[in-house]
Amino acid sequence: MPSLDQVLSRLGATRAWQEELYLHLHAHPELSLHEEKTRALVATRLGELGYEVRTLGGGVVGVLANGPGPVVLSRADIDGLPVTEQTGLPYASTDTTVDESGDTVGLMHACGHDVHITSLLGAAALLAAEPGAWSGTFVALFQPAEEIAAGARAMVDGGLVDAVPRPDVVFGQHVLGHTAGVLATQAGPVLSAGDSVKVTVFGKGSHGSMPHLGVDPVVLASAIVLRLQAIVSREVPPGEFAVVTVGALNAGTKSNVIPDRATLLVNLRTYDTETRARVVAAVERVVRGECAAAGSPQEPTFDYYDQFPLTDNDPDVTSKVTDAFRAHFGADRVVPLGRVPASEDFSRIPDAFDAPYTYWGVGGFAPGTAVPNHSPFFAPLLQPTLDAGTEAVVVAAMAYLGKDLS
Ligand code: ZN
Ligand code: ZN
């Protein structure tokens, strides 16, 4: 029997506990940087499977050393979102939490990270159960706080590079809107770099009836919003991808008071570092220029946050994994991922090891029924999504670790 088939022959046995685990995780999501119960559950399960378990940077990493050979690291993100679930599923989350502003908010795995956790634990179990079929080291990494772009960095800062053997290759996967059971791969940039910046511009407060005695930051901020629209249309080369969105604009409290400042929350998405630098520089130049034009009494400030790196799949790794997917799933179940304008902090992990990586999509929906990630209606099909996510990790890992048993 080929070694891959030997490892996957136990899928029937893991499927039962995986489905039960998925239903539990789906019903009990935890917010970014508050994944205590999820982390404990994962750590316990990895320990039971025989992995050497470390918790660091708010995440968990399990190492299974099984003789000489390559080191393969596979990563799952584990956080939920402050979204009130409206899927109507029998296992929908009804959990709530109190956010930083003191408001009670719903909790939901609205990005499918429960699929990622369950798939990676299943793959970890399958590999642990058949050590004779492969040789090398498998590292299962469970990362917190992907949604706020903090978790990968926290694990790297927490000592990840010294805690596990250096991987020869790193994998990540995400449930997306493709047909359930379909895998989506692509070499090169697949997820955009994302930057958020809080811009504060300053005016001079006055009575609403005496604008000539003040500097109106509402007018200033409005000019900035319009002028920012010209960055993508007039400064980014046609054919290059960039998005500049002003997601929030706040100033003032009352109709007859001219406030003394305005804030803008600006989101930027790009697919290469040169374009990113160009767009960031253009945003700052436009803001400073409009402030000068308005006679603003104080320099604007720029606070960058939620910064996601580019996800740029290694061509050789992607080609090897895609071939393995085609051989296992059949060519009709492997499609091009395309470029997704969303962003991920996944690549900080391989980049910390200077290791090549590939990140693929797992379809989760019946054709024509997909809703976007983060929607309160985001409800991936339990199967074949879980099986596909589990098999995908095993197939990719075995492309590097598998033994020829013939
Ligand atoms: Zn998400
Ligand atoms: Zn996600």
Whether 328 and 217 map to the same domain: the answer is no
> Per the structure block, which two tokens stand in for 26?
């789906």
Residue 406, domain member (yes or no)? no
Work out the number of other CB atoms within 10 angstroms of the CB of residue 55: 16
pLDDT value at residue 2: 80
Residue 12, domain member (yes or no)? yes
Whether 202 and 251 map to the same domain: the answer is yes
Domain boundary pick from 307, 340, 366: 307
CB neighbour list of residue 275: distance below 8 Å, 6 or more residues apart: 236, 240, 241, 242
The rounded Å distance from CA 113 to ligand 2 centre is 6
The rounded Å distance from CA 150 to ligand 1 centre is 13
The rounded Å distance from CA 374 to ligand 1 centre is 6
Residue 125, domain member (yes or no)? yes
Work out the number of other CB atoms within 10 angstroms of the CB of residue 341: 12
Whether 331 and 358 map to the same domain: the answer is yes
Domain boundary pick from 253, 281, 307: 307
The rounded Å distance from CA 2 to ligand 2 centre is 34
pLDDT range class, residue 341, cuts 50, 70, 90:
confident
CB neighbour list of residue 51: distance below 8 Å, 6 or more residues apart: 62, 63, 64, 124, 128, 140
Whether 202 and 239 map to the same domain: the answer is yes
Work out the number of other CB atoms within 10 angstroms of the CB of residue 98: 9
The rounded Å distance from CA 92 to ligand 2 centre is 18
- Write the DSSP symbol of residue 91: T
Q: What gap in Å lies between CA 151 and CA 142, rounded to an integer? A: 10
Q: Which of these, 1, 70, 73, lies nearest to 404 by C-alpha position? A: 1
The rounded Å distance from CA 147 to ligand 1 centre is 5
**How does pLDDT run across 212-249, given as a tens digit for each residue?**
999 999 999 999 999 999 999 999 999 999 999 999 99
pLDDT value at residue 264: 98
Residue 386: φ, ψ to 5°: -65, -45
Residue 44, domain member (yes or no)? yes
**How does pLDDT run across 184-195, given as a tens digit for each residue?**
999 999 999 999
Q: What gap in Å lies between CA 126 and CA 147, rounded to an integer? A: 28
The rounded Å distance from CA 112 to ligand 2 centre is 6
**How does pLDDT run across 101-121, given as a tens digit for each residue?**
888 999 999 999 999 999 999
Backbone torsion region of residue 192, taken as left when φ is above 0, otherwise alpha when ψ lies between -120 and 50, otherwise beta: beta
pLDDT range class, residue 331, cuts 50, 70, 90:
very high
| Confidence check: pLDDT of 406 > 60 | no
pLDDT value at residue 403: 85
Ligand lying nearest the CA atom of residue 311: 2
Give whole-number Cα distances, 66 to 131, 134, 135, 136, 165, in Å: 7, 8, 5, 5, 13
Residue 268, domain member (yes or no)? yes
Whichever domain contains 239, its CATH number is 3.30.70.360
Whether 170 and 227 map to the same domain: the answer is no
The rounded Å distance from CA 200 to ligand 2 centre is 29
Whether 76 and 184 map to the same domain: the answer is yes
Percent share of the chain, pLDDT over 70:
99
Encoded amino acid at 315, one letter: P
- Write the DSSP symbol of residue 40: H
The whole domain housing 180 covers 3-189+310-401
pLDDT value at residue 405: 62
Q: What gap in Å lies between CA 30 and CA 99, rounded to an integer? A: 12
For the chain, what is the domain count? 2
Q: Could you identify the residue written with the tokens 């791969």?
A: 185
Query: pTM, whole model, 2 decimals?
Result: 0.89
Whether 64 and 53 map to the same domain: the answer is yes
Residues 60 and 70: beta-carbon distance below 8 Å: no
Please provide the average confidence, as pLDDT, over all residues in the chain: 96
pLDDT value at residue 32: 95
Whether 133 and 226 map to the same domain: the answer is no
Whichever domain contains 71, its CATH number is 3.40.630.10
Instruction: Report the pLDDT averaged over residues 285-293.
Output: 98
The rounded Å distance from CA 375 to ligand 1 centre is 10
Q: CA 315: distance to chain centroid? A: 21
pLDDT range class, residue 340, cuts 50, 70, 90:
confident
Residue 270, domain member (yes or no)? yes
Residue 61, domain member (yes or no)? yes
Residue 237, domain member (yes or no)? yes
Whether 222 and 320 map to the same domain: the answer is no
Whether 128 and 72 map to the same domain: the answer is yes
Domain boundary pick from 278, 307, 336: 307
Whether 59 and 204 map to the same domain: the answer is no
Percent share of the chain, pLDDT over 90:
95
The rounded Å distance from CA 373 to ligand 2 centre is 7
CB neighbour list of residue 190: distance below 8 Å, 6 or more residues apart: 311, 312, 313, 337, 338, 339, 340, 359
Whether 150 and 9 map to the same domain: the answer is yes
